[in-house]
Chains A and B, each alone.
Chain A
Amino acid sequence: MNSDLDARIGEALARLPDYLGGHVRVSMTALALGIALSVPLALVSIRRPAFRAIVLGLSSIVQTIPGLALLALFYPLLLGLAALSTRAFGVSFSALGFLPAVLALALYSLLPVLRNAVTGLTGIDPAIKEAALGVGMTRRQALLMVELPLALPVVMAGIRTAAVWVIGTATLSTPIGQTSLGNYIFAGLQTQNWVLVLFGCVAAALLALAVDQLLALIEGGFRVRRRGRIIAGTVGMALIVVGALAPGWSQPKARYLVGAKTFAEQYIIAALIEQRLQAAGLSAARREGLGSSVILDALAANELDVYVDYTGTIWANDLHRNDTKPRAELTAEVAQWLKERRGITLLGGLGFENAYALAMPKKRAEALGVRTIEDLARVAPQLAIAGDYEFFSRPEWAAIRAAYGLTFRTQRTMQPEFMYPAVASGDVDVVAGYTSEGRIAQYDLVVLEDTKHVIPPYDAVILLAPRDANDRALIDAVRPLVGAIDVELMRAASLRATSGSDDRSPDAVARWMWGEIARRKNAKP
C-alpha cells in the first residue's frame, strides 16, 4: 500500500512542471486580461449609472454560468472565429486550449474586480473628491492622485477574489484542451485514482493561497507605504510565473499530439499510441481529458494529430442519425463523411467495440426473468436506471426508449465510477454502461440484448488529422494497433487501470497492453 502511494505521488510529481506551468500561464494571463478590462470599465461606469447597471448586470450573468459550461462555450465560438479569420485575413490561430480558456476565465474574473472597483471608487467621501478639485486637480489628476489610491484596498480585495476564482476554475479548462492542474483531477476521477485527484486539488489550492497572500502583501505595501513589501510581493509573483513556466521553455514542443477523452479507456489508448510514436522515434505528447464535443473539432482543425473515437458516437452526434446500420456499412459511411466533411482520415478499427449497453446484476436479471431490453420494458416502471452525464441526452437513448417503450421509475445521472457500485448495492437496478468496460465482468453484470438492433455499433477507430493524412511515419507507427485489441484485452486493461494493481497509471497499463499484443502476435503464427 505504502509503495503504491509513493508510486502514485511520484507519478503525480513527475507531471507537476507541465500541469502547473499550464495552470499558471492560463490563470495569470486570464487574471491580467480581466483586470485590464474591468478597471477601465469601472472608471467609465462610475460617472454613468445606466452603463454601470448594464455592465454589472452582464458580468453577474456571466458569473452564474457554471465555469465548465462557460469554458466549453468559448471553444466553438473561437473555432468559428478562427475559421473566419483564416478565410478573411489568412491568419489562423488555435481555438483549442489556451485561448478559449483565457477568454472564459478573464470573463469570469470580471465581476469581482469590476464590482469592487466600482464600490471603491463610488464610496469615496464626497468631501475628499471636492477637495481634490478645490486644490486645482484636473479630473484625471483627481482620479490618479486621490480616487484610485483611496479605492486601492477595495480594488485589490476584488483582484484577490478574482485570482482565487480564476485559479480554481482553471482546473476546468482541461476538457477544452488547456493543460492545467485539472488534468490531475480529471484523470484521477476517471481512473479512480483518488491520490491524483487530491494532489490536483491541493496543488490548485496552494497556488491560489500563495497568489492571494502575495497580492495581499503588495496591497499592504501600498497602504502603509513599505516599498520592501511591494517589491517582495512582486518578486514572489514573478517567481511563481517564471518558476512555473521555465520547465515549459526548456522542453521541445512535441510534433504529434495524441488526444484522449475523459474516461479511463481513452487515457490508456492515448498512452499506448504515444508510446508507439515514441518507439518509432517521433516526438509525441498527450492532450488528455478533452470533452467529447471538443475533440473531433480539434482534430479537424489540426490541433491534435491522432485519437480514438467510436463510430456510433460520430454517427449519432455528428451525422445526427438515429437509425442504425450493420457494422461494416456504418463504419464505411462514417469514414466517408469524416473524409469529405472534415478532412479526417479513419485509419482503421482497434478491434473492439465500446457500445452503450443496458446492464443489470445477473441474479436480479434472472429473478425478474429479464434477458433482453424487450423483457426489461415489462418491468421497467418499477425500476431505477443510472447513466453517465451524456447518456440520457443522447439520440441512442431516445431511440431505445421509442423502440422498446421504456419508462423507468427513476432515472439518475452519475459519474461512471459511482454508477457500478450503485447497481451492485441495489441503489439502482439498471445501468447504461459500456461494453468494453472491465467493470461489467467485475460486478457480475449481464448485458441485456438489443433484439431490435436500435443501438448502433461503436467500433473504436483511429482517426488522423487532415494534415497527417499522408504522414507515413505516423501511420506506420500506429498501424500495428489496428485490429490488435479485442474487447477482452480492453476490459482487462480498463480493469487494471481502475482497480487493484500496484502500478495502474495509463502509461503502465499501456505498456502491459503492448506486451500482451506482442505476445499474442507471436503466439499466432
Chain B
Amino acid sequence: MAASRSSRLRWSGSAAARTLNVAKKRGPRLLSRATMAPQPPHLPGNMSTMPSPDVISFEHVSKQYDGVRTLDSVTLAVAEREFLAIVGTSGAGKTTLLRLINRLTDPSEGTVRVEGEDVRTLDPIALRRRIGYVFQNVGLFPHMTVAENIAITPRLLGWNVESRAARVDELLDLVRLDRARHRDRFPHQLSGGERQRVGVARALAARPHIVLMDEPFGALDPITRDGLGRDVRALHDELGLTSVMITHDALEAVLLADRIVVMRGGKVIADGTPHALLAGDADPYVRELMQTPRRQAERLHALIAGAGA
C-alpha cells in the first residue's frame, strides 16, 4: 500500500521542468476546470445511515464555545481529489470547521466523517498523522531546522533516518526550495514565502491523502502569494489530494479552487463552483463577495485592452 502510494507520488524530471510544465497546463485548464468540475454531490437525507462516498463530510455539525455558537448545523461534503475553498469573514467559523476534520476540536453536535469513518471512533493522534495541515501562522517549530520540521510527522510515525532524509529532499524539490541551501536552516533564517513552502512540505511529508490549509498565503506579498498558490494547486493535482483551504480572499478562492463554500455566522450560505458563484447568488453578502474579483478582472481586462489599442 505504502509502496504503491509513494510511486504514485514520485515526480519525474527536474523541478524547473516541472514548473514550466505546470504553468503551461494551467492557463487553459483554469477556465475549463471552473466549468467542467463536477457539481458537489448533494446529500440525500439518508446520509447518516449509509457510509459516505465522500472523503470528508459534515452532518449537521454544530460547535459551541462557552455558550457561543461558532458553527450552526453545517452539512457539507468534500469529494475525493476536490480542492475546496472556504471563504468568509473572520469569526464565520472557518477555522473551527477545519479543526473538526483532524479532531483538533470535537463537535458539540453532529458527525464528522473522514473517508467514511466517524472521526470520534478514530484515534485523534493517528488521524492527525494521516492528514496534512498547513497552519495559519505557518507554525514551524522555531528550534528545529527546515529538515527537522518537514520530517516531523514521518519521525512520529517511526520512519528511519534514511527514509526521512530522502523524503525531506524530495519535498524540498517539490515545494521548489534548494536542498543544500535550505535543509539545515532555522525558520527565522527564511523569508515568509520560504517558511510557508516549508509549511506545505511539512503537511505533505507523511504522504497524506487529505491536506487542510488555514489561510496559508495570508501573510505573503502578492507575487509570492500567487506563485505559491499556483504551486499548491499543481501539487494538489499531481498528488491526487483532497484539499480544503480557508481564505478570506475571494479572488484566490476563484483562481485555485474547484468549489467554494461561503460561510457567515457559523452557517454555510453558499456552496458552488467558482463559475456558478461568479454568475450571481441570491444572498446579497455572497453577491457582494463575488463582485470583487469580478470587478477586478473587468477593470484589468479594460486596462489591458486599452493599452493594446
Contacts and interface: CB of A to CB of B under 8 A. Distances in A.
A363 to B, nearest CB: 75
Contact of A127 (B102, B135, B152): B135
B202 A135 contact: yes
Contact of A133 (B128, B136, B142, B202): B128
Contact of A131 (B129, B139, B206): B139
Interface in A64-116: none
Given A127-B135, A130-B104, A130-B135, A136 B140 contact: no
Given A133-B104, A135-B133, A136-B125, A128 B142 contact: yes
A150 to B, nearest CB: 6
A460 to B, nearest CB: 65
Nearest to A133: B104
Contacts of B126: 136
B247 interface: no
B137 interface: yes
Interface in B88-127: 102, 104, 125-126
A127 B141 contact: no
A149 B143 contact: yes
Contacts of B129: 135-136
A134 B128 contact: yes
A134 B157 CA distance: 14
B62 interface: no
Contacts of B242: none
A146 B142 CA distance: 9
A132 B139 CA distance: 8
A136 B156 contact: yes
B141 A134 contact: no
Nearest to B127: A136
A138 interface: yes
A131 B128 contact: no
B153 interface: yes
Contacts of B206: 136
Nearest to B157: A136
A127 B128 contact: no
A518 to B, nearest CB: 72
A62 interface: no
B192 to A, nearest CB: 15
Interface in B61-80: none
B142 A134 contact: no
B156 A137 contact: yes
Contact of A135 (B136, B137, B152): B152
Nearest to A124: B142
B136 to A, nearest CB: 7
Interface residues of A, number: 17
A146 B104 contact: no
Given A131-B135, A134-B104, A134-B128, A146 B141 contact: yes
Contacts of B102: 134
A135 B125 contact: no
A146 B152 CA distance: 11
Nearest to A132: B141
A442 interface: no
A131 B143 CA distance: 13
Contacts of A149: 143
Is chain A's binding surface mostly helix, strand, loop or mixed?
A: helix
A141 interface: yes
B142 A131 contact: no
Contacts of A136: 125-126, 128-129, 153, 156-157, 206
Contacts of B128: 133-136
Contacts of B125: 136-138
A141 B129 CA distance: 13
B143 A130 contact: no
Interface in B138-163: 139-143, 152-153, 156-157
A37 to B, nearest CB: 26
A230 to B, nearest CB: 15
Contacts of A137: 125, 152, 156
B140 A131 contact: yes
Contacts of B133: 131, 134-135
Nearest to A150: B143
A136 B122 CA distance: 13
B156 A128 contact: no
A127 B95 CA distance: 13
A137 B154 CA distance: 11
A137 B156 CA distance: 7
B168 to A, nearest CB: 14
Contacts of A141: 156
A131 B104 contact: no
B135 A134 contact: yes
Identify which of B102, B129, B136, B143 gathers the most chain A CB atoms within 10 Å of its CB: B143
A132 B152 CA distance: 9
A132 B202 CA distance: 12
Nearest to A134: B133
Contacts of A131: 133, 135, 139-141
A415 to B, nearest CB: 52
B136 A127 contact: yes
Nearest to A139: B125
Best-surrounded residue of A125, A135, A149 (most CB of chain B within 10 A): A135
B186 to A, nearest CB: 9
A150 B142 contact: yes
A131 B135 CA distance: 7
A137 B141 CA distance: 13
Contact of B137 (A127, A132, A138, A145): A127
Interface in B251-271: none
A306 B141 CA distance: 63
Interface in B195-235: 202, 206
A141 B141 CA distance: 13
A447 to B, nearest CB: 72
B31 to A, nearest CB: 35
Contacts of B202: 135
A155 to B, nearest CB: 13
A132 B135 CA distance: 11
Interface in A133-177: 133-138, 141, 145-146, 149-150
A148 B97 CA distance: 30
Interface centre among A134, A146, A150 (most CB of B within 10 A): A134
B229 to A, nearest CB: 21
A149 B137 CA distance: 20
Interface in B10-63: none
B239 to A, nearest CB: 18
18 contacts: A125-B137, A127-B135, A128-B142, A131-B133, A131-B135, A131-B140, A131-B141, A132-B141, A133-B104, A133-B128, A134-B104, A134-B135, A135-B128, A135-B156, A135-B202, A136-B156, A136-B206, A137-B156
Interface of A: 125, 127-128, 130-138, 141, 145-146, 149-150
Pairs A-B, 9 closest by C-beta atoms: A131-B139, A136-B129, A136-B128, A127-B137, A134-B133, A149-B143, A135-B153, A127-B139, A135-B152
Given A127-B135, A135-B202, A146-B141, 12 more contacts: A125-B137, A127-B136, A127-B139, A130-B104, A133-B104, A134-B104, A136-B128, A136-B153, A137-B156, A141-B156, A149-B143, A150-B142
Interface of B: 102, 104, 125-126, 128-129, 133, 135-137, 139-143, 152-153, 156-157, 202, 206
